Structure 1
């Protein structure tokens, strides 16, 4: 663990004793809650395989094992701060606790689906959905808090996501004008009891009254998801808490409201030990179908705690008309920027066939999947990936743009050694060897390590390579390794 103070085990147990009768092995549960949990990563499928990522981790002295139920994800020892490593800065991986990867697995999103992530920040689940869609099509990622939106966009940029429109509205009032969706994820704000292994100090804030207050908000979010779900579509409702008030009771209330228009499906994941949903709590008997929900207790798989319910909407219900799409036209002359970028870096012409550009601000251009069809409402905070600044001379790729395109560049590309890599990510100037710059032309260059793009730099005639790695992405952590902070733009 890092330096965070850990709440004493007796205090942790006391905050959770009301669940004792729900848990098959109370001593094992208490022991699991009191110890740090493993770190978990998933490989960005557009950039690296999980096996190749595991090899990179091994070179850093980090042993990693694939998850039995999700082989593209890797489990590491507790306390690994992944943001301090170059492969994280390069968008090769994302850190996401094992349990929190369950909702997207059960959402079963696939290319061609129109998807809404109603409570999306900080973006790990959103990025997983985007990857499941092949980084194509239409994904709308919504959240309400401005700071959380900033983290969401920063993670999507680092990972190269271009099929997502980000919106900022109260999810319980998400507008009907957005149309209906084939898949909706409601990873609801909750009391977060399941994260106590990472955030043990939260134990002091837990009480039944908190869960009851949150439940009203959770019901409103799930109710809205039912409205925005297409007939025959799927909704996944999830929380990272143990409280039935926020879990089964919320689902039971919405099922009762829908009067048979919503079906609770069995939530099952091969290779993962799970427990069924609760069917009685605090004197209230629930329908036996609530056992189809999934509970993940920390001691069963050495994870955090999680709850997931999978719901399907009656396919015989009438659907709504398709929504008015947002206008995604480029301005006159913007194609010239793309032509110049292609020529400078020797990018393949076919690279742009499944992409489109849009000018969303005067600062520069965004890149969007060609088949992305977001609704006109609600208004977007941003669409796709901000990839090129055009309001400066000369124009330049953003770091997110360099990460996205750098592997395809055949010109103005410079490979760095491990020491040079660390200096670059720490925003330090460095002096390449004559061999490295034998074919270099002064100006902007994409820098790589092991063939993976890291970002942009300036090669000066004086022989110095100046790092343009953004200060908001770089935190000069120990050992010369940076700490990534999620930011929207360079």
Structure 2
């Protein structure tokens, strides 16, 4: 869940007595300090966000927030992340809307940091929406190579792609598929993230209504689905590769018991790695639950309880596949037409003063009649399952004149040498509200009429039109502008 949509008042959160009288009491013997646990669930959750490493350093983002009158706090163990007050609306800030940062709960940021990611690896995110972890993976691979981000829901894929576009992620192909039936023809992966669908018990600080509507029996019902997904993850993992299994729930039925059953099913073919999470106070995995004794290696899993780090609840297991097992053949790759775009690309070079070899760093494909998509030069998506999208939609060619999309402008904008318009704070606010506004005499003198790349304090905002009549028309997307307050 993206934090920018989750704003919870302290009055709506449960009291310690309500916690004690609820289904959460089933975990009393698992929690080291029940009173602190119950008290933590009654406090609003801080807003956590990470700086987009392709666009801004965490130090520069901190400066922006301090200038805004905020006191961002570094998150120990997450060097690229910051905590802000619970009532802060990150998604309405100008810097958020143009992809300088992404809001994501602190414990939700941890799985990707444990996957030992390096450029050149092939990675699958099985249940990827809304895309925060996918984007983390993409940037850990230096925005190169191949990540496949899958989700079963088309609506969630749209939200996922929106976040990837805003953040400028170039090395991801999105697919809509039941990941428990991921096709063998799609190949094997060096790293697989399975942030499994779960009962979400650990999100009570963001979703207090769970306390009344949750039925713990749902954990038993979810177990078969989670096992099917983790089973498929093991099958799709290359020998020697890693699988990160995580949930945001407390229930052992969805955590240790799932992992224990898959370990037994693949006896000797996978093993649990010990997890070290510097900066976070974690608990060992459960080895006894409701009369069932689990193998002692289940203690290598890690639990994050809300009271230990002022976070939500989370569970993480890291599995390694035996490197001596036989590997499968490499998958058939998708065929992408890449030779029909020279006229449009040359037009962008000429207009915006980009270097002649600029496009060599990318792979460009016309995926729809609307225009061109841009990917990392070494992005190699599989032929199956069929892609919903590859890279970002960056240049709209079905309009006259053709124009970069906002995600395209955010990407190429820092490199343009012509037709770039620096806005004032007031102009920036009008631009984000999709308004028409007046240029200054200096802006008129520096730019001829037509498309321009709009920026603020050197950070690209998107495309604007400088009309001959002497006004600037915002081209900021309507689906993005509704959440932008323009707050400094």
Once the 2 structures are TM-superposed, how far is the Cα of residue 261 of structure 1 from its aligned partner? 0.4
The aligned counterpart of 2:124 is: 116
Q: CA offsets per residue over residues 199-234 of structure 1, 9 Å max, x none?
A: 111122222210011111100000000000000000
Is residue 2:337 matched to residue 1:311?
Answer: no
The aligned counterpart of 2:280 is: 272
Is residue 2:362 matched to residue 1:355?
Answer: yes
**How far apart are the structure 2 equivalents of 1:343 and 1:65?**
44
Q: CA offsets per residue over residues 348-395 of structure 1, 9 Å max, x none?
A: 334322201100001100001110111100000010010000011100
The aligned counterpart of 2:419 is: 412
Q: CA offsets per residue over residues 308-346 of structure 1, 9 Å max, x none?
A: 0000000000000001011122243x1221111111111
CA gap 1:222/1:39 in 2 versus in 1, 3 angstroms: same
- 8 Å CA contact retained: 2:13, 2:43: no
**How far apart are the structure 1 equivalents of 2:194 and 2:483?**
36
Q: CA offsets per residue over residues 166-203 of structure 1, 9 Å max, x none?
A: 00000100100010000000000001011110111112
The aligned counterpart of 1:486 is: none
- 8 Å CA contact retained: 1:425, 1:481: no
Out of 177, 180, 183, the residue aligned to residue 188 of structure 2 is 180
The aligned counterpart of 2:234 is: 226
Once the 2 structures are TM-superposed, how far is the Cα of residue 154 of structure 1 from its aligned partner? 0.1
Structure 1 runs not aligned, ≥5 long:
483-490
**How far apart are the structure 1 equivalents of 2:255 and 2:367?**
39
Secondary structure of the corresponding residue to residue 186 of structure 1: strand
Q: How many residues align?
A: 480
Is residue 2:85 matched to residue 1:102?
Answer: no
Q: How does 1:435-450 map to 2 (within 5 A)?
A: 435-450=442-457
The aligned counterpart of 2:71 is: 63
The aligned counterpart of 2:4 is: none
**How far apart are the structure 2 equivalents of 1:320 and 1:79?**
49
Out of 296, 308, 314, the residue aligned to residue 288 of structure 1 is 296
**How far apart are the structure 2 equivalents of 1:434 and 1:269?**
55
Is residue 2:208 matched to residue 1:200?
Answer: yes
**How far apart are the structure 1 equivalents of 2:336 and 2:167?**
22
**How far apart are the structure 2 equivalents of 1:164 and 1:302?**
32
TM-score of the aligned structures, taking structure 1 as reference length: 0.96
Once the 2 structures are TM-superposed, how far is the Cα of residue 80 of structure 1 from its aligned partner? 1.2
**How far apart are the structure 1 equivalents of 2:36 and 2:8?**
24
Is residue 2:408 matched to residue 1:401?
Answer: yes
Coordinate RMSD, CA, aligned: 1.4
Once the 2 structures are TM-superposed, how far is the Cα of residue 401 of structure 1 from its aligned partner? 0.3
- 8 Å CA contact retained: 2:334, 2:380: yes
- 8 Å CA contact retained: 1:20, 1:26: yes
Secondary structure of the corresponding residue to residue 38 of structure 2: helix
CA gap 1:350/1:298 in 2 versus in 1, 3 angstroms: farther
The aligned counterpart of 2:14 is: 8
CA gap 1:54/1:151 in 2 versus in 1, 3 angstroms: same
Is residue 2:198 matched to residue 1:212?
Answer: no
Q: How does 1:47-62 map to 2 (within 5 A)?
A: 47-62=55-70
Q: CA offsets per residue over residues 413-452 of structure 1, 9 Å max, x none?
A: 1001111111100111111111122121111111000111
- 8 Å CA contact retained: 1:360, 1:366: yes
Secondary structure of the corresponding residue to residue 401 of structure 1: helix
Out of 419, 425, 433, the residue aligned to residue 440 of structure 2 is 433
**How far apart are the structure 2 equivalents of 1:37 and 1:261?**
39
The aligned counterpart of 2:350 is: 343
Out of 257, 266, 271, the residue aligned to residue 249 of structure 1 is 257
The aligned counterpart of 1:127 is: 135
The aligned counterpart of 1:152 is: 160
Once the 2 structures are TM-superposed, how far is the Cα of residue 3 of structure 1 from its aligned partner? 5.6
- 8 Å CA contact retained: 1:15, 1:204: no
The aligned counterpart of 1:367 is: 374
Secondary structure of the corresponding residue to residue 129 of structure 1: helix
**How far apart are the structure 2 equivalents of 1:268 and 1:186?**
19
Once the 2 structures are TM-superposed, how far is the Cα of residue 81 of structure 1 from its aligned partner? 1.1
**How far apart are the structure 2 equivalents of 1:351 and 1:375?**
26
CA gap 1:364/1:5 in 2 versus in 1, 3 angstroms: farther
Secondary structure of the corresponding residue to residue 469 of structure 1: coil
- 8 Å CA contact retained: 2:10, 2:42: no
Q: CA offsets per residue over residues 83-103 of structure 1, 9 Å max, x none?
A: 110100110000000010111
